[in-house]
Structures are given as structure tokens and as C-alpha cells.
Structure 1
Amino acid sequence: MSPPIWLITGCSSGFGKSLALLALRSGHKVIATSRNPSKTPDLVSQVEKLGGVWHALDVCSPEPELAKAIEKATNVWGRIDILVNAAGYALLGAFETISDKEARAQMETNFFGPLTLTRLVLPAMRARHSGTIVQISSTAGLEAKPSRSLYSASKFGLEAFSEALYHEVKPLGIRVLIVEPGWFGTNFSQALVRPEVALPGEYEGTPVQSVLDATIAGAGAKAPNDTEKGCRAVFDVVMGSGLAEGVEGVLRLPLGKDCVARIRVKIEEHENMLKVTEKLWSSTDVDGSGN
């Protein structure tokens, strides 16, 4: 049986980089991609020495260009078994300071890029009745904190279309996995983008300022989660191996105790919301019984 073939975006750093190297060292075939491979020549060389190939791919390119990129990647080994949408960045700031141009750029990278690439690989996967789509989301795809309005919007959108897609393509033999990392030792804090418009003075001392300060301070702090271990968890779920042996059919993979803590908070918030609004939502029955 031939080894699985991965196409991974955002391989210059973070989860994309670590997952590409892990798959290659496990004997799989990998087409690693990034927007500017010339910026990481040593990494490109490392991937190629391990038997992988590296393609330039900007996920914000128009669909015809992305279609050519998928065709080129498919031609390397004849198919793509696993697509990992790992490319992304965070735009953080008070919502009112984020321009339309900045908002659209955030959505293009984190939402429309993965959406288009997913659409482009699906026909071949459908024809083979096999394939896996891995979407690298975030705890921001579960909880929208102050300063993360557009970043969370991009991840919420990614999760929503992927959840619907999960149910659409499962009967066709295609898997969809949403990965929700907590705080890992990636370059998230260093690579974040701030709006061109400065934060108005009225926001000083508010949650927006607090979250921004904490995020920036986190650039020099040690993350509680290890990226290599996180990627091993993703790899194991995709392959049904290791700690994920027997774990089948999951849509979401939370990574890190901090991520799970936020999920529990969201569950409590929803349960409380249902409790305090029960008289309202139960009063809308057509028969007027409220029962």
C-alpha cells in the first residue's frame, strides 16, 4: 500500500512546519507550501532531503491560480490524500479601528483561502471515495475575546463551513477534522498584525487593552503546550494511530488543557443562557401552551 500524500499550507512555521516534518519522518509523502519559500531556504532543503517537495502557494490568490496550484501538487504523486489548511495569521485590535481592507485580508487568508482549496480537492476525493480535510482553527473559533473580532470571525466561519461539510461528505468516504489548538509554542504572538489606526485612548484599561497586552507579553513567555506533541495528536487522529487508536468519526480535536477549559466555560455559558431565558424561548410555541 502506497504511503499517504499530504498537501500542507503554511509550512514556514507553526503547525504546518511541524506536521510536514512529522509526516515525512513517518514515511509519508508531503507537498509543503508557503507564500515565500525563498524566506526559509534551510527548511525547504530539510523537507526535500526527507523526500518531500516544496511549492510556492499564496492562499489569497484568485481561484484560477489556486486551481493551478492544486493541479501541480496533484501531478507530483498522482493524488492528494490529506489536505491541511494551516496557513493563517491574527489581526488583533479594537473592532472600530479595523479597516475594511484589513478585515477582508484577514478573511481571505483564514477563511476564503481554506474554503477555496477545500473545494478544489473535493472532486478527486469524491471520485476515490477517500480523503481527509484538516482545518487548523483555534480556541478563537470557539470563543471571541475582546480585540479578536475579525480573527475570531475568520475561525468561526472556518468551523461553520467545515462542520456542514463534515456531514455532507461523510457518506462519500471523506473525512473533515477541525483542530482547535490552545496556546502552543508557535510564532502566533510575534506574527500578529495590528490595525493601522491606533487604539483610541478610551480603550485604555478596558478588556481590549488587557487582552492585547497579554497577547503581546506572551511572545516572550513559555507556552504551556508543545507544538510537536500537538502535531503528533493531529497525525494520530488522521491516521488512527497512537493515542487516537479507536478514536473514529470525531469532527473537532481540542488541543491543550487551556483549550478544554475554554470549551467548558462556553458550555456553562450556554447552559446558563438556556436557563435564564427559558420563559422566553418556551413561550413561542404555536399552540401557546409554553410546554
Structure 2
Amino acid sequence: MARVWHISGANTGFGLELALKALAEGDRVIAAVRTPSKVPDSLKRSDVEGEMNGYAAKAFGAFGRLDVLVNNAAYSYMGAIEESEDSAVKAQFDTNVFALLRLVRAVLPGLRKQGSGTIVNFSSIGGLHSYPSNGIYCATKFAVEAITQALATEIAPFGLNAVIVEPGYFRTSFLTSVASGANIAPALDVYEGTPAHEARAAFTKYNGAQPGNPKEGAARIWEYVADAGLLKGKNKLLRLPLGTDTGAVLKQHAAELAETASHYEEVWSSTDFKE
């Protein structure tokens, strides 16, 4: 049976590639976009207005069911923590975290009624490790990690699944806004020559040179849901890392946690009540 996908942030990058992959495999796709005029002609356009619960009802009604919810829409607001501005930080969290929460809450009643469904929440390599001049964005992805980890356990009794997708740097338009000077905090001169401003320059230089292929990344996500390809027969774990850079950071992070636990074992084991 063809699956029905709802994919946010489907104008470009992972969202678009995943939508096209699902369609090529015979699935059906509701692609949520900010700019309908940029949607490829191969995708039917439809404007949907109304509050979130009403929107969810229309999404389920479009094809009679919803099998996969993909929360991919996000952007990065960059700059050192001291350089960040409240209004921009709030806007970053609203798109990357609160919009995800609103959509998850809106579709869960329908998924529970079906007794099946997968929620795919996009985190990032930045959900594993925070970087200079990218701390705000990474904070949103740390939040997505925490939300999805709890969510996966909460919805399992209803036959539902949740997965955290952790892409590294893929060759999408993600860094384009930074290269153009948008979504970046005003610079403070005091950070010149420090890792914060070195990171600013690196983001621009790295744009277009990222190692990850979004078509391959999208294919792995589809395979996770479909139990096909490289994911066929593999246990569906909480996290789906994508990209050699994410794989390296994941291994490093695991090693650092193990080292910390061992290094401070005498400390953390000394703080309980002696009963």
C-alpha cells in the first residue's frame, strides 16, 4: 500500500528530495512549503489556511490517512551567544521547535486512531555537538533531540514510532542565507580573531562544498520508513545519523561521555544519601 507523507520545508534540500523520492516510489506526499511558487510543476499546488487542528484534519482528509509526518522545516540564525538578539532567537525557536511541537500535537490524535504512523523529526550534527557562532541553532536541535526522545517512548504504546534524523553538512541551500548576510547577528569587534568569527568565515566558505549528497540522505530516510535498501531488516533505533561527519561526531561524543563518566565516577557516586 502506498504511504502518505506530510513533509514540511519541502521547497528545497532534504524536504524536496524526500518528497520526490517518496513520489518516485509510488507514495503520496503532502508537501508543506513557505513559497508555493517555487514548488516544481510535478507537484500539485494547494493553499491551506486555518488553525493547526483544522490543518491536520485537511491533511488526513487529503488521502484518507497519514503515515509519515516529517518535521524538516528549519533555518540557522548564526552569531556568537553575546551577539545574538532576543527577537531573532525567539524567531529561531518558533520555527525550529515550536512549529514542530504544534504539528506533532495536531496530528497525534489521528495517528492514534489509525494505530500506526511514523514521526520523523530533523535534528542535526548540531544536535549532538554545539559549535561557535552556531549555539542558538544547535540549542534548537538539542531541544528537538529531547522532545523526540520523550515522544518516542510516549507514543510507542499506540503502535507509533518516532525517529531523530541527524544530518551532517549536506550540499543544500541551508548556508546560503548566511553567505548572503541574512540570519546572522551583528558582529562585535571583540570577537575578531577568535573561534566565533573564524566560524563565521568558515560557514560562508563551506557553502557549496558540503560533503553530503541530499539525494542519498533522502533515500536513507525513505528506506528507514519503508524497511528497504540499506535499512532493510535493521532495527529501527531512535536516531538515524546521516553523513560521515555526523558519524564521526557521534562516535566522538559517545567516547567523551564514557570518558566523563569514568573520570568522575568517584565524584558522582559520592552524592547519594547513604541509606
Q: State if a TM-score over 0.5 links the two structures.
A: yes
Q: Say if 1:159 and 1:54 are closer, same or farther in 2 by CA, change over 3 A.
A: farther
The equivalent of 2:7 in structure 1 is 8
Helix, strand or coil for the counterpart of 1:225?
coil
The equivalent of 2:222 in structure 1 is 235
CA distance in 1, matches of 2:198, 2:261: 30
* Residue 244 of structure 2 is aligned to residue 257 of structure 1: yes
Deviation of the 1:191 alpha carbon = 2.7
Q: Which runs of 4+ in 1 moved over 3 A?
A: 53-57, 192-196
User: Contact 1:142–1:263 (CA<8 Å) still a contact in 2?
Assistant: yes
The equivalent of 1:61 in structure 2 is none
* Residue 210 of structure 2 is aligned to residue 214 of structure 1: no
Once the two structures are aligned, what percentage of the paired residues are identical? 38
Q: Say if 1:190 and 1:152 are closer, same or farther in 2 by CA, change over 3 A.
A: same
The equivalent of 2:52 in structure 1 is 66
Deviation of the 1:55 alpha carbon = 4.5
- TM-score of the superposed pair, with normalisation by structure 1: 0.89
Name the aligned partner's letter for residue 26 of structure 2. Answer: G
The equivalent of 1:116 in structure 2 is 102
Deviation per residue, 1:45-94 (Å, 9 max, x gap): 2223xxxx55458xxxxxx6222222222221122111111111001101
1:89-100 equivalence runs, <5 A: 89-100=75-86
CA distance in 2, matches of 1:233, 1:195: 31
Unaligned runs of 5+ residues in structure 2 are none
Indicate which of 121, 128, 145 corresponds to 1:135: 121
User: Contact 2:171–2:207 (CA<8 Å) still a contact in 1?
Assistant: no
The equivalent of 1:194 in structure 2 is 183
Deviation of the 1:220 alpha carbon = 3.6
Name the aligned partner's letter for residue 89 of structure 1. Answer: Y
The equivalent of 2:254 in structure 1 is 267
Give the paired residue count. Answer: 272
Deviation of the 1:268 alpha carbon = 2.1
CA RMSD, Structure 1 to Structure 2 (Å)? 1.6
- TM-score of the superposed pair, with normalisation by structure 2: 0.94
Name the aligned partner's letter for residue 46 of structure 1. Answer: S
Unaligned runs of 5+ residues in structure 1 are 58-63
Deviation of the 1:249 alpha carbon = 2.9
